[in-house]
Amino acid sequence: TSYCNLRCVWCDTPYTSWEPEDRDITVAESVAAITRYGCKHVVITGGEPFIQPKELIALCHELDKRGHHITIETNATLFAEVTAHLISMSPKLRNSNPSEENRFFKRHERERICPEVIRKFLGAYPCQVKFVVDTPEDLTEIQTLQTEIGIPAETILLMPQGTTSAVLQQKQEWLVNLCKENGYRYSPRVHVDIWGDKRGV
């Protein structure tokens, strides 16, 4: 899906946020394209899928009828009841903020964390909660959110921020150790290691 209500400074899909591209396709066209792939597992991502709740609900309904396993990736700022087998939330930490001079800064800072939405998803669906980590200092914010919102440690994944294998490898060792020490899981960016910072992989 295209469009996002946030503006992460390190966004790796700027064509859905900072410079959104328009390409309207119907639910039926989406289902037909997925059917051609012949895959069972479908991951709906963005941008932010819940910006278009009516279309998202219809798409998930059609995919579920056809026996697909549906994962929805979301920044967890918007909620709608959909048919999904896994909600993959990625609440944005302070490290995602644009510069204070940027016109999106205030809105992004205000909207990037929605505790009530996170709690709704946790109460209604199987979930994972992925945080994009830039420095070891990000752990303090993660632990605060975990405590205040009530996020189970076993649902938390930490993923390094970076778009090259070299940068990801620099962060890998200390981030894996943080996961081990806190009962979290580590989420590598395998597509970057294999294909680099490319669109469509």
Question: And the tokens for 149?
Answer: 């919102």
What are the strands of the beta sheet with 41-44, ordered from one edge?
Answer: 41-44, 69-74, 86-89, 127-133, 156-160, 185-186
Which pLDDT value is given to residue 11?
84
Strand runs labelled E in 52-163? 69-74, 86-89, 127-133, 156-160
The structural domains of the chain, with segments of one domain joined by +, span 14-195
Burial environment of residue 93 by CB neighbours within 10 A (0 to 12, 13 to 18, 19 or more): buried
Can you give the pLDDT at residue 20? 64
Average pLDDT of span 129-149? 98
pLDDT of 200 over the 80 cut? no
pLDDT at 45 over 90: yes
- Which pTM was predicted? 0.90
Determine the pLDDT at residue 17: 64
**CA dihedral over 39, 45, 46, 50, signed as positive or negative:** positive
Cα 50 from Cα 72, distance rounded (Å): 9
Q: What is the per-residue pLDDT across 11-31, written as a single tens digit (0 to 9) for each?
A: 877 666 656 667 788 999 999
pLDDT average, residue stretch 59-80? 98
CB 178 within 8 A of CB 184: yes
- The C-alpha angle 177, 12, 99, rounded to 5 degrees, equals 90
- 92 pLDDT band, cuts 50/70/90, is very high
Handedness of CA 10, 11, 13, 16 (dihedral sign): negative
- CATH homologous superfamily of domain 14-195? Aldolase class I (3.20.20.70)
